[in-house]
Amino acid sequence: MDSSDSVRPNGRQRKPVGSADRGGRAGSAQSDLETEETTLLRDSGSGSEAGVDGLPIVPPSLKGELGNVLLLLFLYVLQGIPLGLAGSIPLIMQSKKVSYKDQAYFSLVFWPFSLKLLWAPLVDAVYVQKFGRRKSWLVPTQYLLGLFMLYLSATAESLLEGDGRHGPDVFAITALFFTLSFLAATQDIAVDGWALTMLSRENVGYASTCNSVGQTAGYFLGNVLFLALESADFCNKYLRMEPKDTGIVTLSDFLFFWAAVFMVTTTLVAMLKREDGQLQGGRSREETQGGRSLAETQGRRKSREETQGVRETYRQLLSIVRMPTVLTFCCLLLTAKVGFSAADAVTGLKLVEAGVPKEQLALLAVPMVPLQILLPLIISKYTAGPRPLDIFYRAFPFRLLMGLVYALLVWWTPSVKQEGGFPVYYYAVVLLIYAIHQVALYSMYVATMAFHAKVSDPMIGGTYMTLLNTVTNLGGNWPSTLALWLVDPLTTQECQGPSGLGCGSPTEAELCAQEGGVCVTSLDGYYVESVVCVVLGLCWWLWLGKRMRSLQDESPAAWKCRKTQ
């Protein structure tokens, strides 16, 4: 079972929900705005307290902003579609017997969401004012997403099939899906920024809800639903009266449909949705009296958007990284997940290799959704204090132990396989193991996010937290890519039959087959990695884990940086 620091299957990470992931949009203006709006809106529960200019303050409500909330939700759903599709491709390639080195190449597709901080300041600062600060990037990016999906609908299946001799064209597939992921990450930056001003200060908290629900729903559609509808076995068993050799939809059909959705909806957003000068609740300019909108009169204010320059943002990032405590913390974040890399990146692919249907593996994510919603709520009670990393430290060895449990699960799987598939109790065991793993995973995840919020300097909070979140995600991506890359070199195979032949390379394996032999795995590199990763993780926990825990003892001044000039 492929898992990571997210609710995503296949070891792919999702942006932390509710974090200030704004691509560098933060500064003293943001802090000042928080103070001003809090002063205007606090203690407004009864609606009778006087606000600015002696006018009553209306309690927070979605009235007049439901359309904006639904638009944000839909944009995040669109964002999740290419991520879900990218998450399904490794399972499809594994069923076509690609090498783990090829899987490592394709894992680079998931890096843009961990590196978007590098170009986020450009998205914030460069735009066409007449068209809109966020639409200047959102509209062309979504058009490009639609065009790339349209191109993939015509080429993806042939690329996955290959020429019949060399298998899938992994390089071309990786390049295309990397571009798709890069565009989705850019769209995420634009939508995150637009959310800050599309909603009033009273309702801006719904942005994180739209992010979580929308992106998860989009991923579900692009991954779980697609794999189920693409599977002939699943469709014949559950959805058809008469069996057929193919699923209800193909990859080309699915890509073409969503390409059309992207193109049509982007056109509607470009033509119908105003960004600059739009007043609260869709009211016209004629309803503004004396230079003050009706929304402001009712105490519902739009957030003022910061216009920080690119150079200033990069200077802030550099000033944050230069701080000794932050540099130490970043180094620890970049190495903390090495011990989990084999379990997170390889386990699901090994289960598919052992015969577990990829669509059944994807569907196991469905019953996990309620648990993944409840776990952060429960764990946050224990991470809300002054030492959230204590939970991280305590959960660490349990998650390492689950890596060994995953290895045992992979070893056990072939012996359970029956002629008609796998018994129900097998999937129950997999689900139970996955659920236990989620407890340890979310304990570490929530603790890390809580510590990020605790130490981030409020003067540049968005940039600060985005940097820490980016480093956290990158700390999960590079070990996963490396783990996939090393599976094949660590695997030992022997040629059974002809003497004097080996299976150390594709050429030797082909020669073995020509001589009537068969290559048999004598030592699977996955098991070697599983043990090595646990040992490395245990060493990290014993030495570096204590150093990470001690960072909580640093004074608040150690985490504050000077404002750049």
In the predicted structure, residue 298 carries a pLDDT above the cut 50? no
pLDDT score for 240 = 87
pLDDT score for 306 = 54
Q: What is the mean pLDDT of the chain?
A: 82
The better pLDDT of the pair 159, 280 is held by 159
Residues 6+ apart with CB under 8 A from 443: 379, 391, 392, 394, 395
In the predicted structure, residue 105 carries a pLDDT above the cut 50? yes
In the predicted structure, residue 413 carries a pLDDT above the cut 90? yes
pLDDT score for 518 = 84
Q: Give the CA count within 13 Å in the CB-facing half-sphere of 466.
A: 27
Q: What is the SS3 string spanning 183-242?
A: HHHHHHHHHHHHHHHHCECCCCCHHHHHHHHHHHHHHHHHHHHHHHHHCHHHHHHHHCCC
Query: For 310-314, 543-547, 560-564, which range has the lowest pLDDT when averaged over its residues?
Result: 560-564
Share of the chain above pLDDT 70, in %: 81
Closest CA to 442 of 529, 370, 550: 370
d(CA 290, CA 232): 65
Q: Per residue in 483-516, pLDDT tens?
A: 999 999 999 888 887 777 778 777 777 788 877 8
In the predicted structure, residue 164 carries a pLDDT above the cut 70? no
Q: Per residue in 190-218, pLDDT tens?
A: 998 888 788 887 787 788 788 888 888 99
Q: Per residue in 328-377, pLDDT tens?
A: 999 999 999 999 999 999 999 999 999 999 989 988 888 888 888 888 88
